[in-house]
Amino acid sequence: MNASIARAVANVAIFLEFSADEILDADAAVGAMEQLAADLQLLDEHAQGQLSAAILSIASEYGATEKEFLEGLPESLGLVVRA
């Protein structure tokens, strides 16, 4: 999986998770995150595993809070996570 795609997914998820209510309505953020998860779950298992691995691989590029969030993101999105 391309690291650029993983980074794009990570950045959208971080924006949805950490934007202040004045920037983004909390209900809208939850709805968008749920839609993101549903769309990504349509990927086949191999692609889900690749995306999960790529997200975990780039997590160290982010600050501590975002890194911790990204480390749990694949599971939160309901993606296949490679052991």
Residue 81 located in a structural domain? no
Residue 53 located in a structural domain? yes
First vs last C-alpha separation in the chain: 16
Q: Count of domains in the chain?
A: 1
Q: How confident is the model at residue 83 (pLDDT cuts 50, 70, 90)?
A: low
Sign of CA dihedral 55, 42, 82, 2: negative
Residues 18 and 24: their CA atoms lie apart, in Å, by: 9
Backbone phi, psi, residue 82, to 5° = -75, 135
Give the pLDDT of residue 39: 98
Structure tokens that stand for 68 in this block: 């911790």
Domain limits at 67? Answer: 3-76
Percent of the chain with pLDDT over 70: 98
User: Whole-model pTM?
Assistant: 0.93
Residue 83 located in a structural domain? no
Q: How confident is the model at residue 55 (pLDDT cuts 50, 70, 90)?
A: very high
Residue 47 located in a structural domain? yes
Residue 15 located in a structural domain? yes
